[in-house]
Amino acid sequence: MIPEFLIELLTNQYGEYLTNEILNGYQEKRKTTLRINTVKTNKENIKNILDKENIKYENVPWYEDALILDEEKNIRELDIYKNGEIYMQSLSSMIPPIVLEPKNEKILDMAASPGGKTTEIYNLSNKEALITAVEKNPIRADRLKYNINKQGTSATILVTDASKLDEFFRFDKILLDAPCSGSGTLSTLDNSLNHFNKNLIKNSVETQQKLLNKALQILKPNSTMVYSTCSILYEENESQLEKLIKQNKIEIIPINEEIFKDIPKLPTKIKGTICVLPNKLYEGFFVAKIKKHS
């Protein structure tokens, strides 16, 4: 059962028509998607194996190394999964590392577990990024370590609260895929709606503010970061950035819409940011690229 207060929030933000689209998205069974780990293999090899296993797939127009499976079938029983040659990852969560444009530079992944974006950053940088991945929960940090090792990624892992990182750290780029309410990933097909409430939104907003403030403290001047959430609510997304824009701490670097033109989107209140509409292929997701003022 979708909470009435959430329907009201969505209706106030997006209007009745788009809210119905979102609610329909909550009821869709999302397709299984994966990312090819180019540290260990290539797309041709993976396609050949999927063909042999009679697993049907389709390409993703905006990401060469991603595939959409017609059905999950026995994918997790295959050696390509067990050996870390593929990583099961939602399409929406692949967007922030692409927007980050990682190169041979010092990069911080502030809320890194389970490691999908960390390993993607490493792949996109051609194994050149010097990554620090942070996760405060010890159990989730163990999962992060496991995935990083399995994928052949090189990264320094810190088991700590990212909002309390030493102020003497300095990074060329930061990915803050912030803890959030998960309003973009809700589904009537699982128990995610059971845990969704107003307090979850309130607590998420507070955590996001702390992490954003810390990120801007340890990001080098005139450098860029990506802020993303799996929420589609204004409070957790544009509102957080508008405060920083008013304080003249940041400016928004417009995301190249042409790259992501095939992705279903919701309107945003800040030009140059992206909010993904949840449907059978995508989770709801917000992504913004930010430049820190000197």
Count other Cβ atoms within 10 Å, centred on residue 238: 20
Q: Where are the domains of the chain?
A: 92-292
pLDDT band of residue 273 (cuts 50, 70, 90) is very high
| Annotated active-site residue in 75, 98, 124, 230 | 230
DSSP H or E segment with residue 9: helix 4-26
Q: How far is CA 270 from CA 6, 33, 285, in A?
A: 22, 29, 15
> Which one of 3.40.50.300, 2.170.270.10, 3.40.190.100, 3.40.50.150 gives the CATH number of domain 92-292?
3.40.50.150
Res 287: pLDDT: 98
Q: Is the pLDDT of residue 293 over 80?
A: yes
Mean pLDDT, the chain, whole residue set: 96
Give 63-99 pLDDT, tens digit per residue.
Answer: 999 999 987 778 999 999 999 999 999 999 999 999 9
Is 275 assigned a catalytic role?
no
**Per-residue model confidence as pLDDT tens digits over 127-170:** 999 999 999 999 999 999 999 999 999 999 999 999 999 999 99
